Chains A and B, each alone.
Chain A
Amino acid sequence: GQQVMQIPQYQHVQEGEDFTTYCNSSTTLSNIQWYKQRPGGHPVFLIQLVKSGEVKKQKRLTFQFGEAKKNSSLHITATQTTDVGTYFCAGPKRSGGGADGLTFGKGTHLIIQP
């Protein structure tokens, strides 16, 4: 079945340093979504990437979708304590399958040391 791999599992950074998490799918994706889960909270949608090679920015966050639409990355510039949490990538379980649900990566836990 479809697998979505995400690395690293944990990332410790000093406040102000940059952070990157990488996502790889075993299958080509119609789109990829990124979610953030704060400690003790629930996942919250951040962004969706659809086009091959697409790059989107949200303030200090930069999201990329690979040319083959099988990998993606999230880069945070100059981390702040508010960035703490787990970042998940997710792809549709079946491209063109309607709302069949998402396959999530295991997430990257971002830990920031002040």
Chain B
Amino acid sequence: DGGITQSPKYLFRKEGQNVTLSCEQNLNHDAMYWYRQDPGQGLRLIYYSQIVNDFQKGDIAEGYSVSREKKESFPLTVTSAQKNPTAFYLCASSTSGTDYNEQFFGPGTRLTVL
């Protein structure tokens, strides 16, 4: 089955620790995205990548980092610099090239900072 996988589903972390969230897709999509979802806030864009070895900051990139070494993978690191990291993190992908492409979302990772 084609799709997007995210792991882990739930993640707990202590304050001051960095943590990396995994996102893998086998849809052969060029573009990948990370969104953060807080209650009542909708989805906010953290980082996006339109092609391998290139990525851009979204609206709320501070305290996060990403890499795009392979087309299939777009991991997100939540660093200790992120002031309020507890949230639901969603990875998405789409075919690239235009702004007319629907986005396919993974199941998400719920991060809780203790």
Contact = CB atoms under 8 A, between A and B. Distances in A.
Interface of A: 1, 6, 9, 30-31, 33, 41-45, 48, 50, 88, 90, 92-107
Given A94-B99, A98-B97, A106 B40 contact: yes
A96 B99 CA distance: 6
Contact of A48 (B35, B59, B100, B104): B100
Contact of B107 (A42, A98, A100): A42
Interface residues of B, number: 31
Interface of B: 30-31, 33, 35, 40-45, 48, 50, 56, 58-59, 90, 94-108
Contacts of A106: 40-42
Nearest to B45: A101
Contacts of B102: 33, 45, 48
Contacts of B50: 98-100
A101 B33 contact: yes
B99 A30 contact: yes
Contacts of A9: 40
A107 B31 CA distance: 24
B70 to A, nearest CB: 18
A45 B92 CA distance: 11
A99 B59 contact: no
A100 B48 CA distance: 7
Nearest to A92: B99
Contacts of A6: 42
A107 B42 contact: yes
Nearest to A33: B102
A99 B42 contact: no
A85 B107 CA distance: 15
B99 A31 contact: yes
Nearest to B107: A42
A39 B30 CA distance: 29
B99 A97 contact: yes
Given A94-B99, A103-B45, 6 more contacts: A95-B99, A98-B50, A99-B101, A100-B48, A102-B45, A102-B103
A70 to B, nearest CB: 16
